Structures are given as C-alpha cells and as structure tokens.
Amino acid sequence: MIIDFKDLDVNKLKPENDFEKKVINFIEEWFSDSETVLVQTSGSTGTAKIFEAEKSRMINSAVSTCNFLELKENDTALLCLPVEYISGKMMVVRSVVRNLKLKVSHPSLNPLIDLHGYSDFCAMTPLQVENSLDKLHLLKKIIIGGAAVSENLKQKIYERLDSSHSETKIYETYGMSETLSHIALKEIFPTEEKFFTAFENIEISQDERACLKIYAPQLNPALLQTNDVVELINEKQFRFLGRADNIINSGGAKIFPEELEKTVKQHIANEAVFLGIPDETLGQKLVLAVEGKEDEKIKSVVSNIKFEKSFHKPKGIIFVNEIPRTPNGKVNRRELFEIIKSH
C-alpha cells in the first residue's frame, strides 16, 4: 500500500492486512479533533507504558528530521516499523508534515525483501539493516534506531555500499519515546562520525553521574533526565558510553558493557552482550553472552582480543540459542540476566 499525503483520501485506502489497518487507524486518529495521540513505550529500560503525546510537539519533531535530511514534497518514505511505538508513528507524521508518499511494508526482520524501486527515506532497526544489506542501496537516506549500531554492522554496511559507489546516507539516532523520536544524529556512512550532534533548539548537559540531561521544550516541557552516561564534547555533541543501570561493578572497577560490546563486535559476527553476575569475591563477575551454538573458534577470538583494561576480559563466555529482545528489537538485558543466572 502506498499513501500519498499530498492527495490523501482515507476512505479510498484499502488495507490488505492487519498492519495496514493499524496504519490507517493511526492516520484517522491523527486527523481527529484530539490534540494528542497514544504512544506505547518499548519497555526496554523499565515497564512498558502508554502515554499521550501532543500532536503539535510531534510535528516539531518531524520538521526537525525532515529539515535535517532535506526531505521534500513527493519524496517517498518506507514505513517498516510498528505504529504502536513512536518510531513508527513518527514515520507517518513526517509523511504528513512534508507531503511524502509513504510505502507501507509489514514490520519484519527483512523489510526490504519485496522492495524493487528506490525510496528516499526509511527508518529501521539494526537487525532489519543486518538482514537487508543487499538492498540498502535502494534507500537514499536511512536512520537506524532502537538499539546501538555495532561495529560489525558498520563494517558490513561499508563493505556492501562502498564498493557499489552508493549515494546512500545512513545515520544512527539518539532519542526516546519522551523526546518523540530522536534528538540527535550521527552519520555512519559514507562518513563515520564519532559523536552524536543534537538538533537545533535542543540543550544538553550532565548530572553528577555524568548522565545526559535534555531540555527540548518544543518536544517535551520537562527537563528530561536520562540514565545514559555520556562524554560531552561541546554544547551540541556527545559520545554515548552506556546506561548507568547497566554499569557492572567488578572488584571496584566500573565497566560499561556497551563499550566492550563495540570492541567484541569488531571481531565476531554474533550478537554479544556483557553482563555482571553475582560473585562473592568481585561483587559482580563479568561474563559474555554470545548468541548461537557453542563455538571454540569464537572463544579463541574473544580470548585474544586486546582489551583496554585487563579486567575488561570476560571471566566466562556463555552461548545462548537466542538473545531475548523487546518487541522493537532492543536486547532485553534483564531477561538475559535471568537466563545466564540459571545457566
């Protein structure tokens, strides 16, 4: 289904599956008299909840993204994310705001499988990108969100697109439901930037834990306190280090698992997650969970990685058939922790 927002008549839209019905229902909700819409959070950092988002603030978010990516009327956008979450809803709102032609593709791990023509814009999760490498060149601008983009995936993107001289531009996003999608972007292809850069009208700072604070009055009237530990480069740029609630304290040393995961994923293709499990001596023992069947070669590769600190080397490597994830693709560390504890 393709929805042309320059010439929209909802009554003429004929959904062929449940997802298309959900998209149409959201469009009807958007054009209703209500000043708000309901948004579901992912639950990846807490209990999933429903909250009301003001349409006017969602428009502000959409305008920032459209302006940054230079999207214009009649450009095509591809929707392949669930519309229950802010990520999917904002793809629709951007299409409304800029009069885009929206291609609706059922959210799946391989959303580009039936894509043949070019599209100007798409938002995807890292897993979707991983499974769509052979068709990324059909998308001119891609934003990746929902989870961090691994070094391994960056390398795969570069190898696939650089050789084809693709004009595709890809960005990693930083944001959350409360900021109505992203407030900062970091280009990862063709140029690989080191830091996220916040949009205009976004003020960033840190608390005493070095966690990011966001003041974005056009998106949310409150000063938003995150649990994301960052390094501030300047008043607009920052480097994400990891979540405060994921920090592992092993023998008095604070370890950011996300940083170690970046290192490991430069060497192995499997999903890899560092966790701290209870230990009488260290308090928490650093272990590495690897997705897939037990593999001595992977164990050897990880053992030979030169980590920055000696205590960054995992005390154990545990293989699990499948890393648990939230509905929008983020690693569910709490559920994985329970699996590892019972291992």
- 214 domain residue, yes or no: no
In a domain, 233, yes or no: no
Residue holding tokens 């209500």? 34
User: What is residue 14's three-state secondary structure?
Assistant: coil
Residue 221 inside a domain? The answer is no
Residue 210 forms part of a structural domain: no
Scored b (16 or more CB within 10 A) or e, 304-320 reads eeeeeeebbebeebbbb
CB 134 within 8 A of CB 156: no
Reading the block at residue 281, the tokens are 């001596």
Same domain, 191 and 291: no
Task: Name the token pair of 174.
Answer: 């930083």
Q: Write down the pTM of the prediction.
A: 0.82
Do residues 231 and 238 touch, judged by C-beta distance below 8 A? yes
Domain assignment present for residue 218? The answer is no
Residue 47's pLDDT is 60
Instruction: Please provide the DSSP assignment of 168-204 as one string.
Output: -EEEEEEEEGGGTEEEEEEEEESS--SSEEEPTT-EE
On whether residue 241 sits in a domain, the answer given is: no
CATH number at residue 319: 3.30.300.30
Amino acid, single-letter form, for residue 187: E
Cα 231 from chain centroid (whole Å): 19
User: From CA 88, how far away is CA 12, in angstroms rounded?
Assistant: 22
Residue where one domain finishes, among candidates 140, 166, 200: 200
Task: Using the predicted structure, report yes or no on whether residue 329 has a pLDDT greater than 80.
Answer: no
Q: What is the 3-state secondary structure (H, E, C) of 249-294?
A: EECCEEECHHHHHHHHCCCCCCCEEEEEEEECCCEEEEEEEEECCC
Same domain, 178 and 256: no
pLDDT in tens, 255-277: 999 999 989 988 998 899 999 99
- Average pLDDT taken over every residue of the chain: 91
Look at residues 200, 232, 267 and tell me which one is the last residue of a structural domain: 200
Looking at 173, 200, 227, the residue that finishes a domain is 200
Handedness of CA 239, 242, 244, 248 (dihedral sign): negative
Give the C-alpha distances (Å, rounded to integers) separating 299 from 211, 261, 272, 314: 33, 15, 12, 10
Residues 165 and 57 in one domain: yes
Same domain for 160 and 294?
A: no
Kindly state whether residues 78 and 10 are assigned to the same domain: yes
Rounded to whole angstroms, the Cα distance separating 73 from 253 reads 52
pLDDT tens digits along 6-61: 988 888 888 889 999 999 999 999 999 999 998 887 655 556 678 889 999 999 99
Residues in the chain: 343
Would you state the pLDDT for residue 330? 76
Domain range enclosing 186: 2-200
Residues 10 and 137 in one domain: yes
Instruction: Give 222's DSSP letter.
Output: S
Sorted by sequence, the CB contacts under 8 Å of residue 18 that are 6+ apart come out as: none
Residues 88 and 167 in one domain: yes
- Specify whether 20 is located in the same domain as 120: yes
Q: Kindly report the CATH number assigned to the domain that includes residue 174.
A: 3.40.50.12780
The tokens for 154 are 């960056």
- Structurally, the chain folds into a number of domains equal to 2
Residues 193 and 289 in one domain: no
pLDDT of residue 224: 94
How large is the average pLDDT for residues 92-99? 96
Indicate whether 113 belongs to any domain.
yes
Using alpha carbons, select from 71, 113, 64 the residue that is nearest to residue 95.
71
- Flag whether 188 is in a domain: yes
Instruction: Judge if 254 and 188 occupy the same domain.
Output: no
Please check whether residues 24 and 136 belong to one and the same domain: yes
Question: Both 73 and 192 in a single domain?
Answer: yes
What's residue 213's pLDDT?
96
